[in-house]
Amino acid sequence: PPPPPPPLFQAVDGILDFHCSLVGSEMCIRDRLGEARIRRAGRHVTIVAWHDMLRRSLAAADLLATDGIDAEVLDPVTVSPLDTDTLVASVSRTGACVVVEEAPVSGGLGAEIGAVLMEQAFGWLDRPLVRLGIPDSPIPMAEHLAQALVPSVDDIVSAVRSLMGHR
């Protein structure tokens, strides 16, 4: 058979240093390509996030813990190949999922992850899958306005609390 397609890697300013702090600094891209990583184990809800949303989701998980919500934070690491086995296994343990991305909600990687989970993990979901991202609207040119659309730590906490029935 032909070899698999090469993995896609996207470097974003400021993200590589954060990623290195999570996985070690030797050669920070030591994660096995095609294998998702659980960056924080949890029992009640899976938060799937990457790039800066991973950092924000980890901070949100710490805040959620004070409410008694034990959030698992999963980093897909690569999008092609996408590690669906780890995604499905995590959702099957927690029964709930929030996909967080720094992109429009429709038509992106978050939508694809949501579709994969609905196809392969629907039976394990106790609640509707939630996608959190930039609203489907024009993105302003002014940086401060554009950043206001990106999910914040508080937005992630609110989405998870709402999904889990907390206020």
What's the pLDDT tens digit per position in 112-147?
999 999 999 999 999 999 999 999 888 889 989 988
What is the pLDDT at residue 120? Answer: 97
Q: What DSSP string describes 89-128? A: HHHHHHS-EEEEEEEESTTSHHHHHHHHHHHHSGGG-SS-
Q: Which two tokens stand for residue 53?
A: 């949303």
**Global confidence as pTM:** 0.83
User: In 3D, which of 90, 13, 7, 19 has the Cα closest to residue 54?
Assistant: 19
Query: Does 57 score more than 60 pLDDT?
Result: yes
Instruction: Grade residue 40 by pLDDT with cuts at 50, 70 and 90.
Output: very high
Instruction: Grade residue 42 by pLDDT with cuts at 50, 70 and 90.
Output: very high
Instruction: Grade residue 23 by pLDDT with cuts at 50, 70 and 90.
Output: very low
SS3 content of the chain, % helix, strand, coil (to 5): 40, 15, 45
The mean pLDDT value of the chain amounts to: 87
Query: Does 15 score more than 50 pLDDT?
Result: no
What's the pLDDT tens digit per position in 60-107?
999 999 999 999 999 998 888 999 999 999 999 999 999 999 999 999
What is the pLDDT at residue 26? Answer: 44
